[in-house]
Amino acid sequence: MLNAQRVIVKFKLEEEGEIEFAVWDNPLESPKVINQDVVNFYKRFIRKGSVIIDIGAHTGDTTVPMALANGKEGTTIAFDPNPYVFEILSINSKLNTQKTNIIPYNYAIAVEPGEYFYNSSEATHNNGGISKDKINKHGKYQLQNKVVAVNLLDFLNKEKVDLSQLSFIKIDTEGLDYDILISFKEIIKNYRPIIIAECFSKLDKIKRDNLYTLFDELDFDLFKLPEKFETKEDICQIESKEDMRKWKHFDFYTVPKERVEEIHS
C-alpha cells in the first residue's frame, strides 16, 4: 500500500441520496464533484443492472456515477494501472455499497498483456500512460516499478464475466483508445455496448480516420460530446472521417444504429 492521502467528502443527490467519495489529496488533482446531472447523464446510456466497464478509471470520478446509474444489482468493472490513483479507486469501490457494486482492478488494458513502463508529465503521477519503451511521450516521471496490462477479452473470459449483460464501456487511455478498442472489437461486434471514448489531441489524420471507420463498419453512429458530459447542449453527430479533424481534442460516444432513436428520445 502506498498510503495515498485522501479526504472523504459527501454529496447529496436528489434521487440517490447521500453519496460518499474519496478525493485524492493531491494539489494537482482537479476538483471532483458527484451530482445528479452526472448520474443522469450515464443513465441515458446504461441499462440498470447490467455489466459496465470503465477503462482508465483514475480515482473513480467517472466510475462512481456510472455505478450509481447501474445500481447495486449491476456490475461495474473499473481498471487503472496507476498504483497511486488505484488506492483511491479501491477506497471508492468500498463506499456506497448499498447503491453500487464496483470491482476495481489495478491493471492497464492493452493489446499485448504483460509489464509496461508507466510515465507521467509530473512528479505526483496524477496522470500518465503506459509504454513498452522506457523513454516515451507520456513524460519524464516514471514509476519505480512496471505496471501490469491485460487483454480485455481474455481477462473477462477468464473471470467468467457474463458479456451478454454488457451495456456500456468508457475508455480514456491517453491516445491509445483506438488500439485498445481494436483489441476487443469482437466484444463490440457481438454485444454492441454504447461506448464513450476520446479523440486525443496528438492523434494524426490516419488514427482519427481509423477511429471513425472502426465504428462505421460495425454500424454504430458517432456523436461528439460537450466538454461537460452531463449537459445536452452541443451534442452533434460525427458523420464522416473529416469530422474527426474538426476539433483538436474531444470525447465522443458511439451508439449502435438500432438504438440511436431510443437513446436520443
Each residue's pLDDT tens digit, 144-177: 888 999 999 999 999 999 999 999 999 988 788 9
Q: What is the helix (H) or strand (E) element at residue 223, kind and residue range?
A: strand 220-224
Per-residue pLDDT, 226: 82
CA distances from 107 to 67, 68, 110, 256 (A): 19, 23, 9, 28
The total number of residues shown for the chain amounts to: 265
Find the distance separating the first CA and the last CA of the chain, reported in whole Å: 46
Which range has the worst mean pLDDT, 91-100, 112-121, 182-191? 112-121
Beta carbons of 186 and 100 less than 8 angstroms apart: no
Digit-coded pLDDT (tens) for 209-246: 999 999 999 999 999 998 765 555 567 899 999 999 99
pLDDT at 259: 95
- pTM assigned to the model: 0.92
Among the residue ranges 62-71, 118-127, 254-263, the one predicted with the least confidence is 118-127
Contacts of 132 (CB under 8 A, 6+ apart): 116, 117
CA angle 138/118/65 to nearest 5° reads 90
Half-sphere exposure in the Cβ direction for 34 (13 Å, CA): 30
d(CA 22, CA 144): 25
Q: Which set of grid coordinates corresponds to residue 110?
A: 492493452
- What pLDDT is recorded for position 232? 56
